Amino acid sequence: MANPAGEFNRIADDFAASNPDVRLGKMMSSPGLTCNGKVFAFIGKEGMGFRLGLAFDPVAFGLRNPKPLNPFKTKPPLKGWYIVAEAEQDKWEALAARALEFTRTL
């Protein structure tokens, strides 16, 4: 299993090189990927986060333990955002592609 930051960097480099609308950015001070100024993926302490939308079904995608992104103590989780742990980093690239596709529709 690759180092999580290294795997994020590999994905980020690949996406930025092959998609003219993708740039490096930040999500709450963490390295992220943006499409037209909107963050769609980032690397955090608990894994990689993805903006996948409300219609995304993590179980149907085969994720074992996705967590909703909940960065605030007094607010509910961000809708349509999921954190996928390092243990499932083999799915990160496909999730980033799906998150990019979803973000392009916003």
pLDDT of residue 52: 98
d(CA 92, CA 27): 17
pLDDT value, residue 2: 77
Q: Are 101 and 66 in contact (CB under 8 A)?
A: no
List the chain residues with pLDDT less than 70. 1
Is there a contact between 96 and 41 (Cβ–Cβ < 8 Å)? Answer: yes
Q: Could you give the number of structural domains in the chain?
A: 1
| Continuous segment of H or E residues that includes residue 68 | strand 67-68
Q: What is the CATH number of the domain that holds 33?
A: 3.30.1460
Q: Alpha-carbon distance 12 to 55, whole Å? A: 24
Backbone angles phi, psi at 80, to 5 degrees: 80, 5
Q: Model's pTM, two decimal places?
A: 0.94
Q: Which domain holds residue 83?
A: 4-104
**pLDDT on residue 106:** 92
Residue 93's pLDDT is 98
- Tokens for 21, please give them: 């609308």
